[in-house]
Amino acid sequence: MIEILYPLFVLGVIGIVLGLGLSLANQYLTVEEDPRIDAVEKLLPNYNCGACGTPSCRAFAEGIINGEVKNLSRCKPGKADKHFNPILEYLKEHPNPDGSIVDVKI
Ligand code: SF4
């Protein structure tokens, strides 16, 4: 009977140690993301088609916020009234930490 319990005990201890390690890593190694990325991503068409040259709408939104994307029209399925203008309005209302507005246009 003890031959069966010993491996279970060892696996249980390993599971607890790894769980604690993951919990600590989650607590101390978390990278905080700019919340504007989520907001801009929601305003994009979200087809994840890659026509803009990025692998996903999220990557395109990150590029907008990081200043790598200068023209929203790179998003081919996007429409000015439905997507681009709301993004520009949102970015005007949510400037960079230094007070500047994200440099992007349609
Ligand atoms: S082209 Fe537009 S819809 Fe397609 S992945 Fe890029 S941002 Fe998303």
Choose which residue among 64, 72, 73, 75 to substitute to test ligand 1 binding: the one with the highest number of ligand atoms within 8 A of its C-beta. 75
> Please, are residues 36 and 43 in contact by the beta-carbon 8 Å criterion?
no
What domains are there in the chain, each with its CATH number? 35-93 (1.10.15.40)
**Is residue 84 lining ligand 1, measured as CB closer than 6 Å?**
no
Q: What is the pLDDT of residues 13-66, one digit of tens each?
A: 999 999 999 999 999 998 889 999 999 999 999 999 999 999 999 999 999 999
Q: What is the pLDDT of residues 64-85, one digit of tens each?
A: 999 999 999 999 999 999 999 9
pTM (2 d.p.): 0.75
